[in-house]
Chain A
Amino acid sequence: MSTRNLSSKNEFIRQVRKQKGLIIIAAPFFIYFFIFSYLPLWGLTMAFQNYKPQFSFFEQEWVGLRHFKNLFTDPDFYRVMRNTLGMSIINLALGFITAIGFALLINELTGKLYGFKRVVQTISYMPHFLSWIIVCGLVSNVLAMDDGILNELLLAFGLIKEKIHFMGRPDLFWWIVGFTNVWKSMGWNSIIYLAAITSIDPALYEAAAIDGYGRFGRMWHVTLPGIKSTIIILLILNAGWILNAGFEIQYILGTNGMVLDVSETIDIFVLKRGFGRTGGFAFGTAAGMFKSVVSAVVLILCNKIAGWLEEEKLV
C-alpha cells in the first residue's frame, strides 16, 4: 500500500515537471477564477449568521437556518417568485418564437434581396447595444398618456376611446416587459440561428423542392429540423436562467405603487432586503443562495431531460 502511494506521488511530481509550461499558462486563469468565482463563495456564510458589518467574521452570531425559514414564510417571497417565473416564461417563450421566426423569415431573403437582408439584420440587432436606461426611457415615452405615440395611434385608428395608462396597469406589466425584451434582443438572438441555418446542406433544399415543397414546406421540413439541436441547446442554457427574469426594466419602470405587486422580481427582492432599510445582508444572501441553487438544479434537470429525449446534451 505504502509503496503504491509513493510511486503515485512520484508519478505526480513527474507529471508536474513534464507539464510545467502548461501549468504556468493555466495559472493566471486558475487565479482569476479562484479570486473572482470561488473566494466570494465564502460570503455565503453570511446566510447562516446574524450578520453585522461592523463586526469581524469571528464576532458574528451564527443562527443556522433562521434566514431560510424567514424566507420561506415570507408572503412577499411567493409574490416575487410568481412574478419572476411569470415574466421569465413570457420572456423565454416570446424570445424563442420571435428569434427563430425572424431567423427563418430573414433567411428567405436571398439573391437580389441579399443587401436588404443585411440592412434589416443590422437594424434589428442594434437595440441589443442600448442600455436599459435608454430603452426604458423610450418605452415610457411610447406608452405615455400625454403624447405617447401608441395611445395617439390607437386613438387615431379608433381602436380605443380613452387613453390607456399602460404604465399603471398591473395586468399589462409582464407583457410590456416581454415585448420590450423582444424588441431589444430579437435581432441579436436570431444571429445564432442564422449561423446554424447556413450549415444546412443546400442539397436538402433542392431535394425538398423536387419533392414539391414550397417555401413554407422547406422551412418546416428542412430548416427547422436542421437547427433543432441548436434550439434545444439554447433552451437548456436559457432554462438555467429561469429565475433571471431581468432586473433593470422592472426596477426602472416598476417601482411605483400601482404595479409594484407584479413587477418585483427575485433580484429586486434580494437587493431590497439585502441592502434596503432593514439592512438584512444575511437575509439577502439567503435569498440569493436559494436562487443559485434553483438555477443549478433546473439546468441539470433540463440537461437530463434532453438526454432522455436523445437530443444534444450540454455536458
Chain B
Amino acid sequence: MKKAKILALLMAVAMIVAVLAACAAPPATDSSSGTPATPTPKQDTQTTEPADKKPEPITFTMFVAGPGEAPPASNKIVQKIKEITGVTIDFEFLVGDMEQKVGIMIASGDYPDFIGAGQARGRFLNAGSFAALDDYLPKYPNLWKHYEPYLDTLRSISADNKIYILDIWGRQYWLNDGQDDFYEGDYNGPAFWIQKDVLAWDGYSHPVKLDDFFDLLERYYKEHPTIDGQPTLPFEIHSQDWRSFCLKNAPQHLIGGRNEGDVVVHPDTLKVEIYQNKWYARDYYKKLNEVFKKGMIHPETFTRNYDQYLSVISTGRVLAMFDQQWNFQDGESVLVAEGKINRTYVPLGLSYDGTKYAYNRVRNEGIIGGNGMGISVKCKNIERAMEFMDALLREDVHRLMYWGIEGEDYYVDANGRYRRTPEQKANFDNPDWRLANAGAVIGDQFPKLEGRYSNGNACSPGNQPEERLENQFPYDKEFYQKYGFYSKSDFLPLIDHPGYPEVWSIFSTMEEDNIAKPIFDQITDLQNRYLPGVIMADDFDAAWEEYVKRYDSIDYPALEREIERQIQMRLKKK
C-alpha cells in the first residue's frame, strides 16, 4: 500500500519534471533578445593568473557551418593546445543541407558553445544565437589588439550594433619592410580553373577569351579522350544546393565584376543589377550549350552530389571547371598527394572581349565583418572561451597550429627563418597526415594571425616565400617560370578593394523578414531548376526564352533596390 503511494508520487514528480523540461525547450532565452550579458567581476582577476598554473580541463562544443573533418583526440597539436589552454574542442562539421541543419538548431535552441557561422551567419544573428562580446573583448589583450581597429566593422553587421561575430580571416599583420608583398597567400577564389597539363600541352598558352578557352579544351580533349584509362571530362559544372554558384556565378566575372554573388554592381554609380537574365548570362549559357552538344560536358555533371564531384576531380580527368578553389581543394589535394601535379589547377580570368580580369583577386581590406565565428548564448563559460581564443592568437600557440613542433614539423635555419625539409613538406601535403598531426583544423575555425610574425616569418608555411619557391614541386617551378610567374595567383591581375563588402555577404546578414529574401529564394529556385535544362536544350533559344519569361514574372527590381540601399548603408557606417 505504502509502496504504491510512493510509486505514484514518483510518477507524478517525473511527469511534472518532464513537462517542465518540454516547456522550457523553446529557445526563448532572454539574453538573446538584446541585452548582452554583463561580465562578472570575477573574470578580471582570471586573466592575470600565473601562466604556469595548470588550467582546468574543459570541453567546448563547436558547430561549423561548413565542410570539414574533426581531428582525432590523438592529434599531437590538439594535445599540446589542451596542455596549454586546458581546452578540448568537440567539433561538429556540417553534413548535408546547411539551411535545414541551421534551421533545426535555431528552432530547438540547442546551440553548442562555439558557432562557426559560415554562410549561415545571418540566420544565427537574426535568431539571437550569439552572445554579445563588446564588454569582453577589451579584457583579452591579444583579441583586443586583433580587433580593435575593426570594431565598427564587426558591429556593422548586426541590427543592434553589437559585436556578435568575430571574423576569423582578414586580419593581417605586416612589418612594412618592403617585403610584405611576397607573403601574400595563393588565390583560392572564383575563376575558370584549368589543369596545368592542358596549358603546357598548348605550349604554355594563356587563354583570355571564353571562346579560346573552350577551343583549347576541345583540342586537348580530341587528343586525350581518356586520362589514366578513364574518359576525360573536359568541363564540369557543379550545381548542388548552395554550391550552385559553380553553375551560376561566371557571367558576373566575364564582364569584369567581382564576386558579388547574384548581382552585378556598377563600379561608378553603385547601381545593382540581377544578371541571370541578361545578355552576358545568355551568351555564357549559350556557349555551354554549344559545348554540351559537342559532348564536352557530361550530363551527369548536373546530378553528381558534392562528394561525387570531388571524387571525379581527384581522378585527374576533369580538365576545367568554374569554381572557387577552396570548394574543390579536397579533390585537388588528392592529386597532390598522388604526385599528379600536372593535373592540378591554375585560375584563368576569362572575358568575352579579351580583357584580362582580376575576378576576385582584390587587395585585402582587412576584416569585412560577419565572416567568422561567435560564442553562443548557451556557452557554458564565456570567460574560458574568450581566454582560449586569446591564447590561440599568441604567436607561440599560433606557430604550433600552423607550423607544428620545431624539429619535428619544421626547423629554424641560421638566419632565423622557418623552413621545412622535403619530407616535412610531403607530410603536410598529405591530407590524412595533416588531420592526424597538424593543428590548422583548429586554427581555421578561430581568429588567427595572417601575414607575418614579429620575427618576420610568414604566419603559415604556405606563405613563406623561400618555402614556396624552394619546395615548389619541380613541375610547378618550371611551369610558372615559363610564364614568368611566381605562383598561380599571378595568372590574375591584382586590383584594389572597392570599399564595400561583397554583396553575398551583405545578403547573408540581412534581417530574416527583409523583402529581398523571398524574391531571392524565388530566383534561386528558378535558376537551379531551369539552367541545367537550358544548357542541355536541343533548342537553346526557345529554352532561354521560356526561362527569361519565368524570370520576368518575378519582382526582382525590388531586390535590386533593396541591395542598393544596403550598400549605401554600409558605406555610410564606415
Asked whether A258 is an interface residue with its Cβ less than 8 Å from the other chain, the reply is: yes
The reply to whether A258 and B14 form a contact with Cβ atoms under 8 Å apart is no
The reply to whether A276 and B528 form a contact with Cβ atoms under 8 Å apart is no
Q: Across the two chains, which residue of chain B brings its CB closest to A166?
A: B303
The reply to whether B302 and A168 form a contact with Cβ atoms under 8 Å apart is yes
Per the bound structure, the CA–CA distance linking A259 and B127 in Å amounts to: 33
Select one of A39, A168, A277, A279 contacting B300, CB under 8 A. Answer: A168
- A168-B303, A278-B518 known; A57+B28 contact, CB < 8 A: yes
Asked whether B558 is an interface residue with its Cβ less than 8 Å from the other chain, the reply is: no
Per the bound structure, the CA–CA distance linking A258 and B247 in Å amounts to: 13
In B237-255, the 8 Å CB interface with A consists of 239-241, 244, 247
Per the bound structure, the CA–CA distance linking A52 and B129 in Å amounts to: 12
Asked whether B18 is an interface residue with its Cβ less than 8 Å from the other chain, the reply is: yes
The reply to whether B302 and A24 form a contact with Cβ atoms under 8 Å apart is no
Shortest CB distance A105–B (Å):
36
Per the bound structure, the CA–CA distance linking A257 and B535 in Å amounts to: 11
Asked whether A289 is an interface residue with its Cβ less than 8 Å from the other chain, the reply is: no
The reply to whether B22 and A39 form a contact with Cβ atoms under 8 Å apart is yes
The reply to whether B28 and A255 form a contact with Cβ atoms under 8 Å apart is no
What string of 1s and 0s marks CB contacts (under 8 Å) between A26-68 and chain B?
A: 0110010011000100000000000011111100000000000
Of B99, B240, B531, most A-chain CB atoms within 10 Å:
B99
Per the bound structure, the CA–CA distance linking A146 and B231 in Å amounts to: 9
Asked whether A312 is an interface residue with its Cβ less than 8 Å from the other chain, the reply is: no
In A244-286, the 8 Å CB interface with B consists of 255-261, 271-272, 274-279, 281
- A53-B27, A261-B529, A272-B100 known; A256+B521 contact, CB < 8 A: no
Asked whether A158 is an interface residue with its Cβ less than 8 Å from the other chain, the reply is: no
The reply to whether B22 and A35 form a contact with Cβ atoms under 8 Å apart is yes
Q: Across the two chains, which residue of chain A brings its CB closest to B247?
A: A257
Q: Across the two chains, which residue of chain B brings its CB closest to A20?
A: B4
Asked whether A21 is an interface residue with its Cβ less than 8 Å from the other chain, the reply is: yes
Residues of A within 8 A of B4 (CB): 20-21, 24
Q: How large is the interface on B (under 10, 10 to 19, 20 to 34, 35 or more residues)?
A: 35 or more
Per the bound structure, the CA–CA distance linking A34 and B244 in Å amounts to: 44
The reply to whether B240 and A165 form a contact with Cβ atoms under 8 Å apart is no
Shortest CB distance B3–A (Å):
10
What string of 1s and 0s marks CB contacts (under 8 Å) between B5-48 and chain A?
A: 00110010011001100100011100011000000000000000
Per the bound structure, the CA–CA distance linking A56 and B106 in Å amounts to: 14
Residues of A within 8 A of B15 (CB): 31, 34-35
Q: Across the two chains, which residue of chain A brings its CB closest to B103?
A: A275
What string of 1s and 0s marks CB contacts (under 8 Å) between A74-111 and chain B?
A: 00000000000000000000000000000000000000
Asked whether B118 is an interface residue with its Cβ less than 8 Å from the other chain, the reply is: no
Asked whether B411 is an interface residue with its Cβ less than 8 Å from the other chain, the reply is: no
Asked whether B569 is an interface residue with its Cβ less than 8 Å from the other chain, the reply is: no
Per the bound structure, the CA–CA distance linking A212 and B109 in Å amounts to: 71
Residues of A within 8 A of B22 (CB): 35, 39
Per the bound structure, the CA–CA distance linking A281 and B108 in Å amounts to: 11
What string of 1s and 0s marks CB contacts (under 8 Å) between B112-144 and chain A?
A: 000000000001001110000000000000000
Q: Across the two chains, which residue of chain B brings its CB closest to A55?
A: B28
Residues of A within 8 A of B528 (CB): 257, 260
The reply to whether B103 and A274 form a contact with Cβ atoms under 8 Å apart is yes
Per the bound structure, the CA–CA distance linking A123 and B107 in Å amounts to: 42
Residues of B within 8 A of A208 (CB): none
Select one of A31, A145, A261 contacting B18, CB under 8 A. Answer: A31
Residues of A within 8 A of B32 (CB): 54
Q: Which residues of A contact B (CB under 8 A)?
A: 20-21, 24, 27-28, 31, 34-35, 39, 52-57, 140, 144-146, 165, 167-168, 255-261, 271-272, 274-279, 281
Beyond A54-B32, A257-B302, list 14 extra A-B contacts (CB 8 Å).
A20-B4, A24-B4, A27-B8, A52-B512, A53-B28, A145-B298, A168-B532, A257-B244, A258-B303, A272-B99, A275-B99, A275-B100, A275-B102, A279-B106
For the complex of A and B, the 7 pairs showing the least CB-CB separation, nearest first, are A275-B103, A56-B28, A54-B128, A257-B532, A167-B303, A275-B100, A276-B99
